């Protein structure tokens, strides 16, 4: 359970706090870190434009392979989870709906699943006819 060590938690802590909110909080943290890492990587790829159009085309072509397009689905999933859970947190915080927080988290997870599956259904068939 290395992940628990990173967050200074023990398996016992998780056993004692098996609430929807605890798991939503942990996933929000993990997807947030993943997206921050991706943002920096994305700016590094796009920043090659500072070295000219050829450098940009070369670097961008390297990340437009079938594998990267497949990984895009994971990225979109992380974005939608973080987005809908974040919206749920904002609504609960700004409108004083703490007592309803569990329903908002569940609604956020449902929206994340629907939007991610929709994106996957669009992207996967395109992988077969990749240029």
Task: Report the C-alpha gap between 33 and 56 in whole angstroms.
Answer: 26
Contact between 13 and other proteins by CB under 8 A: the answer reads no
Task: Report the C-alpha gap between 38 and 117 in whole angstroms.
Answer: 21
Beta carbon of residue 76, minimum distance to other proteins (angstroms, whole number): 6
Which of 25, 43, 47, 46 is CA-nearest to residue 35? Answer: 43
Of 46-105, binders to other proteins (CB under 8 A) are 46-47, 49-50, 53, 56-57, 60-61, 64, 69, 72, 76, 79, 83, 86-87, 90, 93-94
Beta carbon of residue 75, minimum distance to other proteins (angstroms, whole number): 9
Contact between 2 and other proteins by CB under 8 A: the answer reads no
Q: Give how many residues touch other proteins by CB under 8 A.
A: 39
- With a CB cutoff of 8 Å and minimum separation 6, the contacts of 124 are 70, 73
Which spans in the chain are helix H? 2-6, 11-16, 20-46, 53-62, 66-94, 101-127
Q: Which residues bind other proteins (CB under 8 A)?
A: 7-8, 29, 32-33, 35-36, 39-40, 43, 46-47, 49-50, 53, 56-57, 60-61, 64, 69, 72, 76, 79, 83, 86-87, 90, 93-94, 119, 122-123, 126-131
């Amino acid at each position: 359970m290395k992940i628990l060590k990173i967050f200074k938690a023990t398996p016992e802590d998780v056993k004692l706090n098996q609430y929807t909110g605890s798991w939503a909080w942990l996933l929000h943290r993990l997807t947030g870190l993943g997206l921050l890492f991706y943002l920096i990587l994305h700016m590094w790829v796009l920043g090659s434009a500072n070295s000219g159009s050829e450098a940009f085309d070369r670097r961008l072509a390297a990340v437009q392979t079938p594998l990267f397009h497949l990984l895009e689905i994971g990225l979109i999933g992380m974005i939608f989870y973080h987005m809908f859970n974040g919206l749920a947190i904002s609504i609960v915080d700004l409108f004083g709906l703490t007592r309803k927080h569990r329903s908002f988290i569940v609604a956020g997870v449902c929206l994340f699943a629907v939007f991610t599956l929709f994106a996957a259904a669009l992207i996967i068939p395109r992988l077969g006819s990749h240029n």
